[in-house]
Chains A and B, each alone.
Chain A
Amino acid sequence: MSNKTIQAIFDDDDMLLKAVKGLKDAKYNIEEVFTPFPVHGLEKAAGLKNTRIAITSFIYGVIGFSFAVWMMNYMMVVDWPQNIGGKPSFSFHENMPAFVPIMFELTVFFAAHLMVITFYMRSKLWPFKKAENPDVRTTDDHFLVEVSTEENVEKLEEFLKNSGAKEIKLKA
């Protein structure tokens, strides 16, 4: 038995949120929701798992911090010791306060950039990628829900109509 995917279009975010909750309660499988702007509470209603990007961000931050420590030690102490501001101590810990801004900046730099790259990779996005958007109106003022079902398509269509869908079509 093959899966059929229904696309339902809403024109109100509250209706959409209610419909998504209803679908979830009725144990339908929501494949994807397309919205022109972030709808508050939608990710919870659609049953998405919590993002783990915060954890990666922490790890990247630690990497950036360690990199900065290594870099400043290599540059200022090991490779080419310099007498700056009358502090020719040539030891890392005695010059550490001067390195703190760099450690901070590199922590932020690594965390931010690598997090964005991770996000792009995880969402399979890259420059010049063709949009996977099923309906251009979802970039303007409409909301689209993709629901798949193995059972009765009519029943699902009826369900979506009742929850306020403006348009319903079968995905080709």
Chain B
Amino acid sequence: MYTFSKKLKISAILFMILGALGIGYGFLTTPNNVDEVKEMMQHENSHETHSATENTSSEQVKGDTHKKASANENSEDAHFTHALHSLQNRPYTAIFIAMFFFFMIALGTLAFYAIQYASQAGWSIVLFRVMEGITAYLLPGSLFILAFLILMAANGHHYFVWMNPDFYNASSEHYDEILVSKSWWLNIPFWMIRTFIYLLGWNFYRYFSRKNSLAQDVASDLTAYKKNLKASIFFLLFFVVTESMMSWDWLMSLTPHWQSTLFGWYVFATMFVSGITVIAMVTIYLRAKGYLPKVNDSHLHDLAKFMFGFSIFWTYLWFSQFMLIWYANMPEETAYFTPRLLGPYQLLFIGMLLSNFVFPLLVLMNSDYKRVPWFIISTGIIILIGHYVDVFVIISPATVGNHWAIGIPEIASILFFLGLFIYIVFTALSKESLEVKQNPFLTESEHYHY
């Protein structure tokens, strides 16, 4: 039985408090009107150069979405209004990125867990409680996402630019045929209903599988196990479809004119590799404390292999999406990559290839290194940072455009959700015994060796 160590608990709470303070600071320092923006800009003269590259995705939506400015305003004022909206978006964006990042770790872990059941894998049984602990974050994570999305739909802030009613108003100068043609799918009520369905389905599976997994521990037959097997298969069918739709709805719709058929898989690769990395890290932590006596080096080896393999898988999808668009060079498609590859996100966009591909490739290639805990932990940290940047680069160009920074709001948001994640995951881990019993593949897992 694992007990949540006091040190870890206090640091988790400390992270949350610091994070909450930082998030509050982020909201307080946001400019309220155009004059404040002008003042800010004068303070940061170096930033003035960016107007030359002002071509980001938020402007690709005809007539500039954020603008409530009247048409006869001169372009300089329009520029400042745009800047104002971008700067006002920044704390929301920081929260959303961190919120989604930790949510997707739990979701990726849940998918990995379901795959273990559905494929009747033998090696991973001793890691089930660790995975269940991580997926405990799914429910709070979902509630945060839901609250955020409801807020964004309700407050008229047009964080999701397609929600602006002007686009669908034929008499408005912002009338947008492309968005009108998409509105059968991309309208607020349907969008909200879908979000409900995704979250409900995923959380239901998590609740059901956890219940059965614990029931199997004290069972005398395999009923609970069989229920989980079936549930996992149906969950995966549901998940493959809803995960893709989720990534269109929550992430791709931030740049509503743009579309990519690979996007769902690409987001899946990000969440899956992050999830597996966190499983490996939590496993190593608990094993070092002596709570997982049955986990041997071969289990670690396999987790590290998955980290290695799915890092390459991520790169494959990332590149497949990128290369086709780059090669075809059609304006409506390249609009997504312009701010990322050529604009202000270039450093992050290229840099994440190093941490998400080159680094894990070289470090985890050697078979022996996959068994060295500190190697896995340090590679894991790099991979997680890389995938945070990945989510950052997916979301930020559409919402804050050129006014991005990684400053107090961003780091505070990470700290807050990291603290919450640690608190919830380790509380869940301490609630039940970390040893799985009665699972039909348990013996195979205990004797697993590579």
Interface residues of A (CB under 8 A from B): 54, 58, 85-87, 97-98, 100-101
Chain B residues with Cβ under 8 A from A58's Cβ? 365
- Is the pair B327, A97 in contact by a Cβ cutoff of 8 Å? yes
**How distant is B429 from chain A, measured CB to nearest CB, in Å?**
34
- Is the pair A85, B367 in contact by a Cβ cutoff of 8 Å? no
Given contacts A86-B329, A97-B326, 16 further A-B contacts (CB under 8 A): A54-B367, A58-B365, A85-B327, A85-B328, A85-B329, A87-B327, A87-B329, A97-B319, A97-B322, A97-B323, A97-B327, A98-B323, A98-B327, A100-B319, A100-B323, A101-B323
**How distant is A59 from chain B, measured CB to nearest CB, in Å?**
13
**How distant is B14 from chain A, measured CB to nearest CB, in Å?**
44
Tell me whether chain B's interface is mostly helix, strand or loop, or mixed.
helix
Residues of chain B in range 338-383 having any CB-CB distance to chain A below 8 Å: 365, 367
- 4 pairs of A and B residues whose beta carbons are closest in the complex: A97-B323, A97-B326, A85-B327, A98-B327
A54 vs B322: C-alpha distance in the bound complex, in angstroms? 31
Most central of B323, B327, B329, B367 by chain A CB within 10 Å: B327
**How distant is B327 from chain A, measured CB to nearest CB, in Å?**
6
| 18 A-B pairs (CB sep. < 8 Å) | A54-B367, A58-B365, A85-B327, A85-B328, A85-B329, A86-B329, A87-B327, A87-B329, A97-B319, A97-B322, A97-B323, A97-B326, A97-B327, A98-B323, A98-B327, A100-B319, A100-B323, A101-B323
Q: Which residue of A lies closest to B328 (CB)?
A: A85
**How distant is B131 from chain A, measured CB to nearest CB, in Å?**
27
A58 vs B328: C-alpha distance in the bound complex, in angstroms? 33
Chain A residues with Cβ under 8 A from B319's Cβ? 97, 100
A87 vs B323: C-alpha distance in the bound complex, in angstroms? 13
Q: Which residue of B lies closest to A41 (CB)?
A: B449
Chain A residues with Cβ under 8 A from B365's Cβ? 58
A97 vs B328: C-alpha distance in the bound complex, in angstroms? 12
Q: Which residue of B lies closest to A58 (CB)?
A: B365
Residues of chain B in range 295-344 having any CB-CB distance to chain A below 8 Å: 319, 322-323, 326-329
Chain A residues with Cβ under 8 A from B328's Cβ? 85
Chain A residues with Cβ under 8 A from B367's Cβ? 54
Chain B residues with Cβ under 8 A from A100's Cβ? 319, 323
Chain B residues with Cβ under 8 A from A54's Cβ? 367
A11 vs B326: C-alpha distance in the bound complex, in angstroms? 61
**How distant is B420 from chain A, measured CB to nearest CB, in Å?**
39
A166 vs B123: C-alpha distance in the bound complex, in angstroms? 35
A86 vs B326: C-alpha distance in the bound complex, in angstroms? 11
Q: Which residue of B lies closest to A54 (CB)?
A: B367
Most central of A54, A85, A97, A101 by chain B CB within 10 Å: A97
Q: Which residue of A lies closest to B367 (CB)?
A: A54
Residues of chain B in range 165-192 having any CB-CB distance to chain A below 8 Å: none
A86 vs B328: C-alpha distance in the bound complex, in angstroms? 9
**How distant is B431 from chain A, measured CB to nearest CB, in Å?**
38
Chain A residues with Cβ under 8 A from B322's Cβ? 97
**How distant is A27 from chain B, measured CB to nearest CB, in Å?**
26
A98 vs B322: C-alpha distance in the bound complex, in angstroms? 11
**How distant is A82 from chain B, measured CB to nearest CB, in Å?**
14
**How distant is A71 from chain B, measured CB to nearest CB, in Å?**
19
**How distant is B270 from chain A, measured CB to nearest CB, in Å?**
20
**How distant is B282 from chain A, measured CB to nearest CB, in Å?**
29
A59 vs B329: C-alpha distance in the bound complex, in angstroms? 36
A97 vs B319: C-alpha distance in the bound complex, in angstroms? 8
Chain B residues with Cβ under 8 A from A98's Cβ? 323, 327
**How distant is A100 from chain B, measured CB to nearest CB, in Å?**
6
A97 vs B322: C-alpha distance in the bound complex, in angstroms? 9
**How distant is A90 from chain B, measured CB to nearest CB, in Å?**
16
A101 vs B323: C-alpha distance in the bound complex, in angstroms? 10
**How distant is A102 from chain B, measured CB to nearest CB, in Å?**
12
Chain A residues with Cβ under 8 A from B323's Cβ? 97-98, 100-101
**How distant is B345 from chain A, measured CB to nearest CB, in Å?**
17
A92 vs B114: C-alpha distance in the bound complex, in angstroms? 45
A97 vs B320: C-alpha distance in the bound complex, in angstroms? 10
Q: Which residue of A lies closest to B322 (CB)?
A: A97
